[in-house]
Structure 1
Amino acid sequence: MQPSPFSRVRARLLGSKMTRLEQENKQLRRRIYEQEAASPPPIPEASPEELEHLRETVRTARREGTLFELAADIAAKKQQTGYYCREAMLEALKQASAEGETAEDRMRRLLMPAFTTSELPERFVRGIEHRAVPSLESLASFRGQLTSRVRRRQKGHQLPEWELDDKQVSRQFASEIGLRVPEVIEKNAPLAALPLEAGTVVKPAAGAGGRGVYILRSETDILNAKTSEVLTSTAELKEIMQKDLQHGRVAEDRWNVEKLYYADEDTGEPARDIKCYTFYGKTALILEITRSPETAYCWWTPDGERVDTGKYTGSLMEGKGILREELDAAARLGAALPAPFCRFDLLRTTEGLVFGECTPKPGNYDQFNETIDIALGEAFLDAEERLFQDLVNGASYPYWRNLL
């Protein structure tokens, strides 16, 4: 049966209307996809109660003898969830690309912070050869860079900053550059042979993080630099040092004794630690620490602005600021070392600036918040490029070579 003339007219009108609606819908969808990318939602913070519950679950598993089974299950679930999320985000990018480059790049900006460098699918960087894809800055992780350096050390690569992990070597390096170094009274001695005298500091010959460091203001006033606990006798000190060895807080029974420097002799405050996160001559972050009456911290930018890093949030202080000579000293040390990063630890004392030590791998570097991790990661990449250019142009690094 043939459609009536009326039916044919109606179909034409409806078809025209549907076509118009489809075009409008397509244009609206295109406008939506071309809008500026929204920021990814912040990672929800777990409550302290939830975190403590999780930790207690792990502790309970240890008591019940199921710790490794629980850990294996957690690791497997994390890997599986990560795989599913990665595939879903990759599919989201593919679907957005059907709407054009603007929509595809918007999706890139939205999802990029959710990936680590090793997780990022190639599709997210595709096109960088011939056009400017959205910035990969969020992948410039300090955590990732340091972990890669540790892996290279594990493989036996020569990493100049690790040559300075030895306290005696680093002090020779600093002294040749022209910095004042601590007066050493005893070095590499066993506990039984140590001169435990007032006005000295006892440190492990090889150690980090303040573990096993004791400040003898007098024989009855001995400060644990790590915990701020005050011991009242050298006998008590020896007992605690033995426990440091037994519990692995100090690896070897080899100790150094140095002169004690003060920040304020009247109050008995020991020298303040100034720890400079330096990237081939340029310091990006500074940590100021006081050890008395209790350990407290303050983070600074090189411009003298206090900054939140996510570390030591429960033990922050206002701090006294950063001195130009401290930044200059870190710059000289960093520029003389052919490495993209090293932390230089200095002492601010009543007798002036004193070099402390070099730290190629700062403790708990994973605890920086994302903003700081990315900023330090970018500083690391920039330092690598400056170092490469200087090496190509014949830089010789005589102070470092004198140590070899």
Structure 2
Amino acid sequence: MEQRERDKKRLLPPFSTWVSEGASLPEWLSRSHMARGKSAPQPPSFAVQMDSWVRRSRIQEKLLGTDSTPRLLRRRAWASDWLTSRGWKTPEILSGPFALQDIAQHLEGLESGVIKPVNATNAWGVLPFVRTGPFEFQNLFDGERYRMSEVLERLHNPMQRYMFPNKWQIETLIAPKGEPNRVPDDFKVYAFAGEIALILQVRRHTSGNRYKFYDSEWNPVDTGKYPDTTDNDLPLPEVPESLCEVASKISSALPVPFCRIDLFEGSEGLAVGELTPEPGRYQAFSDSADLYLGAFFEWALAVQSLQQSDT
């Protein structure tokens, strides 16, 4: 296995280079098998692979009665334990799990934090806050100040809409250096068995979220997602190399071919926000980005198959 790791070469060049050179796959990856005859095979597709993966997870959960690995990774407490046991920094869980109707007692004594559902993806039901009064909190996503009843309403609505369980927790608020009342940019790394394909930067602002995609060498790229809210003026992270290194190591250690590793740069360094095996709107990439990510997905499946055969 060590020799395979030494000999392993990157499947495709960085996305910006690959697109500028014509966005074509290596001949061996696009070759048709003789059993197919003369017809061309379907090209790799990230959306198709994700659809298949989601279906397999549902079969495991519904028919076989076991928790699939993607479901475990979506559980914030499980993911936090897994990460911290391997030495990676995550936000501390201050309180939880608790039912939403009991949130007032769990907010007692807290000056800041992030309220999150225990089992949900994306930013559904996430509320970063600082206390502005005995019963008043400022939502750092929109800048608005909420009374306790408004906090309850703000969190209940997404729970009802997306139908995730009524289990919540409060984490420490990770803030950028010198800006204790701002949510840091979120760097979402699309990683496949240790290889970095794309990176999405998200800056949340009261006027609306702004997005910026990069390739593995931090060149801005167009992936077809967020065309109306892309902001190419967003700054690079302070330590881009370290960010990719952490994401790569986490991805290599995970027992799945793909996971989006969500990282923050806080005042005390890098922290892992979440592990996201099933990112939202994974079907919305452009054809070229879908092909690129799909090729990495198939490569990662092959790598993991080899790893399993060696154990």
Q: Tell me, yes or no, whether TM beats 0.5.
A: yes
Aligned positions, number: 266
- Aligned pairs (5 A) from 1:108-147: 128-129=33-34, 136=41, 139-147=43-51
Equivalent position of 2:224 in the other structure: 310
Partners of 1:250 and 1:186 lie apart in 2 by 22
Higher strand share: 2
Q: Cα RMSD between the aligned structures?
A: 2.7
Aligned with residue 204 of structure 2, among 287, 291, 295: 291
Alignment match, 1:148: 52
Q: Does structure 1 retain, via aligned residues, the 8 Å contact 2:57–2:70?
A: no
Q: Which runs of 4+ in 1 moved over 4 A?
A: 130-136
Query: Map of 1:4-403 to 2, 5 A cutoff?
Result: 128-129=33-34, 136=41, 139-156=43-60, 159-194=68-103, 195-196=106-107, 197-219=110-132, 220=136, 222-223=138-139, 225=141, 228=142, 230-245=144-159, 247-249=160-162, 251-266=164-179, 268-293=181-206, 294-317=208-231, 318-322=233-237, 323-394=240-311
1:268 Cα offset (Å):
2.7
Q: Unaligned 5+ residue runs, structure 1?
A: 1-123, 395-404
CA distance in 1, matches of 2:150, 2:35: 68
Taking the aligned partners of 1:218 and 1:275, their CA distance within structure 2 comes to 28
Amino acid across the alignment from 1:291 = R
| Cα deviation, residue 316, structure 1 | 1.5
Q: What code does the residue aligned with 2:80 have?
A: R
Question: Any gaps of 5 or more consecutive residues in structure 2?
Answer: 1-29
Give TM-score, length-normalised by structure 1. 0.60
**Residues 159 and 339 of structure 1 are in contact (CA less than 8 Å); yes or no, is this contact kept in structure 2?**
no
TM-score, L = length of structure 2: 0.77
How far the C-alpha of 1:267 sits from its partner, in A, is 7.3
Q: Summarize the Cα distance change of 1:147–1:131 in structure 2 as closer, same or farther, 3 Å threshold.
A: closer
Instruction: Work out whether residues 139 and 146 of structure 2, in 8 Å CA contact, stay in contact via their aligned partners in 1.
Output: no
Please tell me the residue identity of whatever aligns with 1:223.
N
Percent of matched pairs sharing the same residue: 25
Cα distance in 2 between the residues matched to 1:257 and 1:189: 9
Report how far residue 382 of structure 1 moved: 0.9
Structure 1 residue 250: Cα displacement: 5.2
Q: 1:221 Cα shift?
A: 5.3
Matched residues in 2 for 1:242 and 1:162: separation?
22
Residue by residue over 1:101-133, the C-alpha shift from the partner in whole angstroms, topping out at 9 and shown as x without a partner, is xxxxxxxxxxxxxxxxxxxxxxx98x7429997
C-alpha displacement of 1:254: 1.4
Which one has a bigger Cα radius of gyration? 1
Cα gap change, 1:193 to 1:336, in 2 (>3 Å): same
Alpha carbons 1:231, 1:237 under 8 Å: kept: no
Which one has a larger percent helix, Structure 1 or Structure 2? 1
